[in-house]
Structure 1
Amino acid sequence: MKKALASAKTIDEAVDKALQELGVTKERVSVRVLEEPSKGFLGLIGTRDAKVEVELNYDPVEEGRSFLADVLRQMDLQVTIETAKQSDHYQFNMIGQDLGMVIGRRGHTLDSLQYLVNVVANKHSDKHVRIILDAENYRAKRKEALEKLAARLAHKAIQTRRNVRLEPMSAAERKVIHAFLQSRSEVVTFSEGEEPHRYIVVSPKTKEASR
Structure 2
Amino acid sequence: MISKENLRVIEHESKELFSKLGIEGEVRVEAGEENAVSISIHTAEPQLFIGDRGQALAEIQHILKFILKKKVQEQFYLSVDINDYKKSKEQYLRELARTAADEVALLKKPKELDPMSSAERRVVHMELAERSDVSSESEGEGENRRIIVKPK
TM-score exceeds 0.5:
yes
Contact 2:110 2:151 in 1 (8 A): yes
Contact 2:9 2:72 in 1 (8 A): no
Aligned to 1:203: 150
Q: Structure 1, residues 22-73: CA drift from partner, whole Å, max 9, x if none? A: xxxxxx7xxxxxxxxxxxxxxxxxxxxxxxxxxxxxx48625752x434433
Matched, 1:81 2:30: no
Q: What letter matches 2:140 in structure 1?
A: G
Contact 2:115 2:146 in 1 (8 A): yes
Contact 1:64 1:121 in 2 (8 A): no
Q: From 165, 178, 182, give the equivalent of 2:125.
A: 178
Q: Structure 1, residues 166-208: CA drift from partner, whole Å, max 9, x if none? A: 1111111111101111111110011111223211110011xxx
Task: Point out where structure 2 has 5 or more consecutive residues left out of the alignment.
Answer: none
Give the deviation of 1:124 after TM superposition: 5.0
Q: What letter matches 1:118 in structure 2?
A: K
Q: Which has the higher contact order (CA 8 A, sep 6+)?
A: 2
Matched, 1:120 2:67: yes
Give the deviation of 1:77 after TM superposition: 3.2
Aligned to 1:139: 86
Question: Secondary structure of the equivalent of 1:80?
Answer: strand
Q: Structure 1, residues 77-124: CA drift from partner, whole Å, max 9, x if none? A: 322211101002111110221111111222221112111111111135
Give the deviation of 1:129 after TM superposition: 1.8
- Aligned pairs, number: 147
Change (3 A) 1:124 1:175: same
Change (3 A) 1:123 1:198: farther
Change (3 A) 1:71 1:174: same
Contact 2:17 2:64 in 1 (8 A): no
Task: Provide the TM-score with structure 1 as the length reference.
Answer: 0.63
Contact 1:90 1:132 in 2 (8 A): yes
Q: What letter matches 1:103 in structure 2?
A: I
Question: Secondary structure of the equivalent of 1:84?
Answer: strand
C-alpha separation between the residues in 2 aligned to 1:197 and 1:72? Answer: 31
C-alpha separation between the residues in 2 aligned to 1:192 and 1:64? Answer: 38
Task: Point out where structure 1 has 5 or more consecutive residues left out of the alignment.
Answer: 1-27, 29-58, 206-211
Contact 1:103 1:135 in 2 (8 A): yes
Q: From 131, 134, 141, give the equivalent of 1:187.
A: 134
Q: Within 5 Å, which residues of 2 pair with 1:1-211?
A: 59=6, 62-63=9-10, 65-66=12-13, 68-88=14-34, 89-205=36-152
Contact 1:64 1:118 in 2 (8 A): no
Question: Over the residues paired in the alignment, what is the CA RMSD in angstroms?
Answer: 2.1
